[in-house]
Amino acid sequence: MKKGLLFLLMSMITISSFSQGLRINAYGAYSFKDRIDSRYDFNDYYRGTIMDGFQFGGGMEFMADDDYGIELSYQRLNSSAEMYYYKDGDQYTNFKLGTNYIMLGGNRYFDLKNKMIEPYVGAQGGLVVFSFKNPDNGNSGTITKFGWGFKTGLNLWATKQVGIKVQAQVLSAVQSVGGGLYIGTGGSGAAVTTNSSIYQFGLGGGITIKLGKDK
């Protein structure tokens, strides 16, 4: 996790060193809950919900021209995962869960006659780092998965340099690639896994600041 954040920071510094059209973006959103479910047989199943919460983060965006931006971003969601599973009988645990999205993506902006309103759409891909803790036994750990996302929204420019973001987004961790998400439900070597993707829908916004002139 620390190495990922360090890479993100160094990449931002590298981009900012040569870019003239640069934006700093700050994000805040309400992320909705998502249900996950799997059953192999009566002795091997789980079902549960990754709970909703406040998601926050930021990004650095290099404007390739007036209509296209390349953004490196980080977002985090602190929540919990309520899980029912089978291990020597039916079990229930409410896991503490932190979800970290480290993404690289592109944004497409659309010109309107009203220059104070700037619609956009974007797509991104990267890493999702889950940190979890089982409060029943103290087990904790992290796991990294491939992630992707889409977003759409508006920049409402209060000045030529500062704007307010209104945004909807979906972020997903692809569980079918490279194994499951190990929640750590039991003792040594015991875990619950999922092979289905996790989808987290968010509504919110943020602030965008121009540090240079758009190309």
Q: Which of 203, 192, 200 is nearest to 48 (CA)?
A: 192
The whole-number pLDDT of residue 14 equals 56
Q: Would 100 be classed as within a structural domain?
A: yes
Higher pLDDT, 195 or 38: 38
Q: Which residue type is seen at 85?
A: Y
pLDDT tens-digit series, residues 33-70: 988 776 555 566 677 888 999 999 999 999 988 899 99
- Report d(CA 67, CA 110) in Å as an integer: 6
Give the mean model confidence (pLDDT) for residues 189-199. 56
Any idea what the CATH number is for the domain that residue 80 is in? 2.40.160.20
pLDDT tens-digit series, residues 7-29: 555 555 555 554 468 999 999 99
156 Cβ neighbours under 8 A, 6+ residues apart: 116, 117, 118, 163, 164, 165, 166
Single pTM value for the model: 0.80
24, 209 contact by CB (below 8 A): yes
Q: Would 215 be classed as within a structural domain?
A: no
pLDDT tens-digit series, residues 135-181: 887 888 888 888 999 999 999 999 999 999 999 999 998 865 434 45
- Report d(CA 200, CA 149) in Å as an integer: 9
Give the domain extent around 86: 2-210
Q: Would 167 be classed as within a structural domain?
A: yes
User: Is the pLDDT confidence value at 214 over 60?
Assistant: no
Q: Would 65 be classed as within a structural domain?
A: yes
Q: Would 31 be classed as within a structural domain?
A: yes
Q: Would 27 be classed as within a structural domain?
A: yes
The whole-number pLDDT of residue 49 equals 86
Q: Would 104 be classed as within a structural domain?
A: yes
Residue the block writes with tokens 């979906």: 170
Q: Would 43 be classed as within a structural domain?
A: yes
Confidence band of 5 (pLDDT split at 50, 70, 90)? low
Number of domains in the chain: 1
